[in-house]
Amino acid sequence: MPALRPAYASGELNLSIPPLSRKLNITATPRDKTLEPGGNTVINIEAKDANGNAAKESEIAVVVVDESILWLTDYKLGDPISSFYSDRAGDTTDYHSRKRVLLATDLELSRGSITGRQVLELPMNARSYDSLVRLKAGVMEETVTVSASAASIERTPLALRQNFNALAVFAPAVRTDANGRAQVEVKLPDNLTRYRIMAVAVAGGKQFG
């Protein structure tokens, strides 16, 4: 008769509790739906909590980007709720970055001997780049308007389009008032295109939208 062995069992149950009470509802509405290149408008922003109350003193990041650039990568703004309240495993891990530390003597540092190749081997968040492209303004032209009697000539300067920046607005810290509202002024570049308005908000460190 075989000897009896001790036995054990374990079980696990995951309870999904959606953070619905932590969700902010954000609306960003431009005052004007259509503008000429270089036009000015205002974006009206409103933040409300899950109960429909004003999310006062919330902080909102507002970005206005050329839609054609976003379309190239099918960019979609991620939901911060899924980032801050994602599923977490029941274990722990550790991580160190000692292998990415560059050692150099004082003499090497004074000579600036750290090569570009060493910089490229660093993680992306350890690099920095200056502007790679600078646009040079074009030559301003003019139109000549002659009256019917040809007695007077008016010269009107042309508004030459020069600013083709894909990023129209980057406002990283817009604060809402006591009514949960805020405004962002927009001066569009000279592109003939459509712009997408994106807004991400946080309130109290626990509410996101």
What is d(CA 177, CA 57) in angstroms, rounded to the nearest whole number? 6
pLDDT value of position 13: 82
Residue 187, pLDDT above cutoff 90: yes
Split at pLDDT 50, 70, 90, the class of 149 is low
- pLDDT at residue 136, rounded to an integer: 41
Domain covering 19-80+162-209 in this structure, CATH number: 2.20.130.20
Q: How far is CA 121 from CA 51, 126, 130, in A?
A: 49, 10, 18
Residue 113's pLDDT band, with cuts at 50, 70 and 90, is low
Residue 27 CA to residue 44 CA, distance in Å, equals: 8
Please state the rounded mean pLDDT for residues 80-94. 80
Least confident of 35-44, 150-159, 171-180, 181-190: 150-159
Give Cβ neighbours of residue 155 (< 8 Å, ≥ 6 apart): 142, 143, 144, 145
Lookup: tokens for 8:
């054990």
Between these two residues, 146 and 89, which has the higher pLDDT value? 89
Average pLDDT score over the chain: 80
Distance between CA atoms of 176 and 194, rounded to whole angstroms?
Answer: 26
Summarised one tens digit per residue, pLDDT across range 43-86 is 999 999 999 999 999 999 999 999 999 999 999 988 899 888 88
143, burial (CB in 10 Å: exposed 0-12, middle 13-18, buried 19+): exposed
Q: What is the DSSP letter of 50?
A: T
pLDDT at position 63: 96
Cα→Cα distances 125→43, 72, 122, 128, 151, Å: 32, 24, 8, 8, 66
pTM, 2 dp: 0.61
CA dist., res. 124 & res. 121, Å (int): 9
